[in-house]
């Protein structure tokens, strides 16, 4: 279930996050990916695989009803095999983090431990398992921990400066991810038993939430990059994220006016990918000027 787009997302996440943090914290120095950046990408890639393995096990009962083709449900893989793989990934990722810095290793260990904590919480708490909004509050911090790992590790290895702006970039990536998260779990009608944001919020409420998260991501980027302070050619690049808001806005309008049963996921994916590619270009072209 670890499909190629997970790897692509991990690569773009690290590059866009590190580059944006460098741009807003030390714009006078040129940013480019280093060997440390490549190692961070590799660590994030295997940690995402670890979290995918955790999800397969913690969602087993739900998948037996709603996703019967999942490999753990069908028996294509066993829980023991997944746990053995998780143990290997834990050792390798923490050791690789230690090669970057002690704090990097500590942050990766925190991500892995939080993944296990989520598994335990969902097994022990029925509300956490069945209330999708509560589940989001409990599970989303694992994404923030990965973001914190990338930024703090980049500070330790010198690509990013220690500055409040470096921390503020987390809002960009939280907003971008959550617009996708809400988009992929929005349906026109209530579906009891399925974990959809549209069940408690309604189709319109869940759709609006997705678009608002995109607005938060773009507004934060503009506030930090400040395109109005750049020369015209550079400002044009810095303003691109604002134009990208047309993607979720048009998708939302079409969905609300149509009879489609599910919110279109492709525009949500397109928004997050084009935003991350734009942030990478900004970091490469706007730093060091």
Dist. CA 214–CA 108, nearest whole Å: 27
Name the residue among 83, 107, 270 with its Cα closest to residue 184: 270
The predicted model scores a pTM of 0.92
Question: Can you tell me which residue has the tokens 């980027």?
Answer: 221
Q: Exposed, middle or buried: residue 137 (CB in 10 Å: 0-12, 13-18, 19+)?
A: exposed
Q: What is the pLDDT of residues 122-147, one digit of tens each?
A: 888 888 888 999 999 999 999 999 99
Dist. CA 50–CA 45, nearest whole Å: 9
Q: What is the pLDDT of residues 25-72, one digit of tens each?
A: 999 999 999 999 999 999 999 999 999 888 888 777 777 877 788 888
User: Measured between alpha carbons, how far is residue 38 from residues 127, 272, 273 in Å?
Assistant: 39, 21, 19
């Amino acid at each position: 279930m670890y499909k190629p787009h997970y790897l692509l997302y991990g690569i773009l996440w690290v590059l866009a996050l590190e580059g944006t943090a460098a741009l807003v914290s030390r714009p006078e120095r040129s940013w480019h990916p280093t060997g440390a950046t490549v190692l961070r990408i590799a660590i994030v890639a295997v940690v995402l695989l670890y979290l995918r393995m955790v999800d397969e096990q913690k969602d087993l009962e739900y998948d037996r009803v709603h996703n019967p083709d999942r490999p753990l449900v069908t028996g294509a893989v066993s829980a023991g095999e997944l746990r053995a793989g998780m143990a290997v990934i834990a050792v390798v990722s923490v050791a690789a983090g230690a090669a970057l810095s002690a704090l990097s290793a500590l942050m990766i260990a925190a991500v892995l431990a939080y993944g296990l904590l989520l598994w335990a919480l969902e097994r022990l708490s029925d509300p956490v398992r069945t209330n999708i909004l509560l589940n989001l509050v409990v599970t989303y911090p694992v994404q923030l921990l990965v973001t914190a790992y990338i930024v703090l590790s980049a500070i330790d290895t010198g690509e990013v400066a220690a500055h409040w702006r470096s921390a503020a970039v987390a809002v960009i990536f939280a907003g971008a991810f959550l617009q996708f998260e809400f988009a992929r779990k929005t349906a026109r009608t209530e579906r009891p038993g399925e974990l959809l944001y549209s069940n408690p919020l309604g189709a319109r409420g869940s759709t609006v939430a997705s678009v608002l998260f995109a607005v938060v991501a773009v507004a934060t980027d503009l506030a930090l990059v400040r395109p109005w302070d750049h020369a015209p050619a550079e400002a044009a690049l810095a303003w691109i994220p604002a134009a990208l808001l047309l993607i979720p806005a048009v998708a939302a309008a079409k969905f609300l006016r149509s009879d489609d049963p599910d919110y279109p996921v492709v525009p949500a994916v397109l928004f997050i990918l084009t935003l991350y590619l734009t942030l990478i270009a900004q970091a490469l072209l706007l730093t060091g000027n």
